Amino acid sequence: MKVPELYGIDVFNDETMKDLLPSDVYKELKKTIEAGEPLDIDLANVVAHAMKDWAVGKGATHFTHWFQPMTGFTAEKHDSFIDPQAGGKVIMRFSGKELVKGEPDASSFPSGGLRATFEARGYTAWDPTSYAFIKDNTLCIPTAFTSYSGEALDKKTPLLRSMEAVSRQALRILKIFGNDAGVHTVRTTVGAEQEYFLIDRELFKKRPDLVYTGRTLFGASAPKGQEMDDHYFGAIKPGVKKFMSDLDDALWRLAVPAKTEHNEVAPSQHELAPIFETTNLATDHNQLTMELMKKIAQKNGLECLLQEKPFDGINGSGKHNNWSLSTDTGVNLLEPGSTPSQNAQFLLFLTATIKAVDEYQDLIRLAAASAGNDHRLGANEAPPAIVSMYLGDELTEILEAICTDTQYHERSKSRIDLGVTVLPPLRQDTTDRNRTSTFAFTGNKFELRSLGSAASLSGPNVVLNTAIAQELEVFADRLEKADNMLDEEKKIIKETMEKHGRIIFNGNGYSDEWVEEAKKRGLLNLKTTVDAVPYYTAEKNVKLFTKYGIYNESEINARADIKLESYWKNINIEALTMTAMVREGYTGALIDCMKDLSAILARKKQIGLPVENSMEYPRLKKISEGAEKMEIAVNDLSDALGQCDTGKDSYTVALYYKDEILPRMDSLRKVVDGLEQIVPKKYWPYPSYGDLLYSVT
């Protein structure tokens, strides 16, 4: 099948609805969707019936409400369409009620205590702005998941709320600048570049650490890493190419706009970038992408690793959240325009973003915080844990010129006098890109670069949308009241640059000097998840979220709690996996190796050969000493695990894991990795880094 025919073939999209629904029903449905109103039950019945016929025609036997609980994964519970009839037969049935509302028994999802305080049950409700689709013979209905009293129990509900908040305020700005003709909503758009590793599945299965935790907890570096820069954008191997084209097909069937595929920096590392979409769709689609990557890898005898730092010593994987604002008439609001009023408006959105990123740098940091991503941030492969913004010299100079009332004529000779002359067309020169910044302006959008590869896009975009909504609201209030709007805008820009310009940094974000400089500027440097989480519930942040109805206070507490719980539980699994690998693998391997070496040495002695300078003696000595250290380190780790009272509050437990468990894991790893370099490979129980990283052909 040709791509245009394949594209969206498994999606109950607008075109299909138009085709299959009576035209009055279609119009009514569109109206309800656009107004964001709940679906009338009669209407829902007709839609459900058509949806079911369509799905059954494509081989579907089941349906599910597809949702995104606070684990950050997706959840589904399949119900078949069968409806028993008299005479022992069944028909396939799907009602409007089943379409719009589901009641999964979801009591096992983390709720961060929300369910203790509120109604235990939750329900899922169709998000009709994200189309239903078929996956594995199941009709999937994208839904939001909330408690009966309305608390968000998922990642989608707050995202939808934040999109509404930013739309409302952005519309006010458009109106102020007279650019609102025909505009009904302002959407945030997201294109998420997704990095991942592909390794051989048979080798993967032999590594308990990869199986249980998604990352290697042991492993000496291979002789070759990424130092030759020969993998980045390199020719794609046939096995990988096959995976990528299978993945494209599967994604295109679901109308996920997969666009760019290439090799990344580390060996066996790759990236997929889709074309950007409205944020809730991009978020749904990124979840599907991650799921399909795993599945299709397995079908191809491969394993896809989405963990943020699968291998020590080479780059981990990130997810770049390219973000912008755009009207439903298709105007990108972060694109410098061609008229004075568009440019003044662009500068206002830019200024709002600067203020938002500075004031809510803690929340932006938090959005990227997880046990896995802690291994990347600040590790010379990802932006530091310090949040900063890159605007490029040109924009920075423009803003500075406005602040100092000087003329800007450096690059383009045109004068920047707000609203009077036109902004110079900004160059979108890719060589000018800064790849070390947390939040980089890239010509017509911002790229949030700190997210880990496994993250849900929801969290960071909730923060961005809500924070920007807040700044836009304050600016709109001022501009609406101002006698001279452009003078007021100048004032806003000046004030913002004075107070928040510190967040702008155009230099090398990976350098040590920046850490020093950022400290002088008073920027936060929250090195770990545990350092960052307390900021969640800072007064200003609670105020922000509650003001826009994104979260109430208990929802925020719940989310902070879940982050901490997930942090220490992840580390706990890693630590237990390490002790198991020592017990089940390394101990026996060392014993075998030492036994053989001792036997040779004993025999040599017997027949009168000198042993002191033999190959075996010093090696046995080193291995024996290493084995002793390993035994001490693993017992120390086990003891520390045993001493933790996990019944305490999650902050205390998480802090304990950060301060007491992680360093012990590091010590244990160091000893074992050292041993790997002196023990002959035939004894070594697990595939090496070399095996894993160069396994795919």
Q: How far is CA 527 from CA 190, 379, 688, 689, in A?
A: 26, 11, 30, 28
| Interaction partner, residue 438 (ligand ADP, Mg ion, none; CB < 5-8 Å by kind) | none
Separation of alpha carbons 98 and 83, rounded Å: 13
Nearer to ligand ADP among residue 215 and residue 445 (C-beta): 445
Nearer to Mg ion among residue 440 and residue 597 (C-beta): 440
Nearer to ligand ADP among residue 226 and residue 322 (C-beta): 322
Q: How far is the CB of 548 from Mg ion (least distance, A)?
A: 29
Angle value at C-alpha 127, between 365 and 154, nearest 5 degrees: 40
| Interaction partner, residue 567 (Mg ion, ligand ADP, none; CB < 5-8 Å by kind) | none
Buried residues in 361-376 as b, exposed as e (16+ CB within 10 A): bbbbbbbbbbbbbbbb
**Three-state DSSP class for residue 315:** coil
Residue nearest to Mg ion (CB): 320
| Interaction partner, residue 115 (Mg ion, ligand ADP, none; CB < 5-8 Å by kind) | none
Nearer to ligand ADP among residue 275 and residue 580 (C-beta): 275
Nearer to ligand ADP among residue 273 and residue 530 (C-beta): 273
Nearer to ligand ADP among residue 195 and residue 308 (C-beta): 195
Q: How far is the CB of 188 from ligand ADP (least distance, A)?
A: 8
| Interaction partner, residue 67 (Mg ion, ligand ADP, none; CB < 5-8 Å by kind) | none
Question: In 482-586, which ranges are continuous DSSP H helix?
Answer: 485-500, 512-520, 529-532, 539-547, 553-581
Q: How far is the CB of 273 from ligand ADP (least distance, A)?
A: 4
Q: How far is the CB of 444 from ligand ADP (least distance, A)?
A: 6
| Interaction partner, residue 275 (ligand ADP, Mg ion, none; CB < 5-8 Å by kind) | ligand ADP
Residue nearest to ligand ADP (CB): 191
Q: What is the largest CA-CA distance in the chain?
A: 104
| Interaction partner, residue 190 (ligand ADP, Mg ion, none; CB < 5-8 Å by kind) | ligand ADP
> Residues 489-508 vs Mg ion: string with x where CB under 5 A?
--------------------
Separation of alpha carbons 43 and 150, rounded Å: 24
Determine which helix (DSSP H) or strand (DSSP E) holds 122, and give its type and residue range: strand 122-126
| Interaction partner, residue 273 (Mg ion, ligand ADP, none; CB < 5-8 Å by kind) | ligand ADP
* Residue 253 sits in the site that holds Mg ion (CB under 5 A): no
Provide CB contacts within 8 A for 212, sequence distance 6+.
573, 574, 577
Tell which positions 624-643 bind Mg ion, by CB under 5 A.
Answer: none
Give the HSE-up count for residue 435: Cα atoms under 13 Å, Cβ half-sphere: 6
| Interaction partner, residue 158 (Mg ion, ligand ADP, none; CB < 5-8 Å by kind) | none
- Contacts with Mg ion by CB under 5 A: the residue count is 2
Q: How far is the CB of 441 from ligand ADP (least distance, A)?
A: 12
Nearer to Mg ion among residue 52 and residue 376 (C-beta): 376
Locate the DSSP E strands across 148-296: 186-200, 258-263, 269-274, 277-278
Angle value at C-alpha 70, between 549 and 383, nearest 5 degrees: 90
| Interaction partner, residue 665 (ligand ADP, Mg ion, none; CB < 5-8 Å by kind) | none
User: In this structure, how many other beta carbons lie within 10 angstroms of the beta carbon of residue 127?
Assistant: 22
| Interaction partner, residue 276 (Mg ion, ligand ADP, none; CB < 5-8 Å by kind) | ligand ADP
Nearer to ligand ADP among residue 192 and residue 296 (C-beta): 192
Q: How far is the CB of 244 from ligand ADP (least distance, A)?
A: 16
Separation of alpha carbons 385 and 366, rounded Å: 10
Q: How far is the CB of 139 from ligand ADP (least distance, A)?
A: 28
Buried residues in 666-680 as b, exposed as e (16+ CB within 10 A): ebbbebbbbbbeebe
Q: How far is the CB of 545 from ligand ADP (least distance, A)?
A: 24
Separation of alpha carbons 504 and 432, rounded Å: 16
Q: How far is the CB of 200 from ligand ADP (least distance, A)?
A: 28
| Interaction partner, residue 267 (Mg ion, ligand ADP, none; CB < 5-8 Å by kind) | none
Q: How far is the CB of 331 from ligand ADP (least distance, A)?
A: 10
- In order, the DSSP letters of 363-380 are HHHHHT--TTGGGTTTSS
| Interaction partner, residue 324 (Mg ion, ligand ADP, none; CB < 5-8 Å by kind) | ligand ADP
Q: How far is the CB of 240 from ligand ADP (least distance, A)?
A: 19
Instruction: Among 201, 285, 320, 365, indicate the residue that binds Mg ion (CB under 5 A).
Output: 320
Tell which positions 152-211 bind Mg ion, by CB under 5 A.
Answer: 193
Separation of alpha carbons 489 and 523, rounded Å: 26
Nearer to ligand ADP among residue 332 and residue 537 (C-beta): 332
Nearer to ligand ADP among residue 106 and residue 254 (C-beta): 254
Residues of this chain that interact with ligand ADP (CB under 6 A) are 189-191, 193, 273-276, 322-324, 332, 444-445
Nearer to ligand ADP among residue 277 and residue 691 (C-beta): 277
Residue with tokens 């689709």: 133
Nearer to ligand ADP among residue 315 and residue 688 (C-beta): 315
Q: How far is the CB of 320 from Mg ion (least distance, A)?
A: 4
Q: How far is the CB of 315 from ligand ADP (least distance, A)?
A: 16
Separation of alpha carbons 25 and 21, rounded Å: 6
| Interaction partner, residue 503 (ligand ADP, Mg ion, none; CB < 5-8 Å by kind) | none
Which pair of structure tokens corresponds to residue 530? 């545990």
The amino acid present at 56, given as its one-letter code, is V
Nearer to Mg ion among residue 108 and residue 430 (C-beta): 430
Buried residues in 200-235 as b, exposed as e (16+ CB within 10 A): bbebbebbbbbeebbbbbbbbbbeebbeeeebeeee
Contact 467, 356 (CB under 8 A): yes
Residue with tokens 């036109």: 422
Residue with tokens 């399909």: 292
Pairing of strands 277-278, 302-305: unpaired
Separation of alpha carbons 562 and 322, rounded Å: 26
Residues of this chain that interact with Mg ion (CB under 5 A) are 193, 320
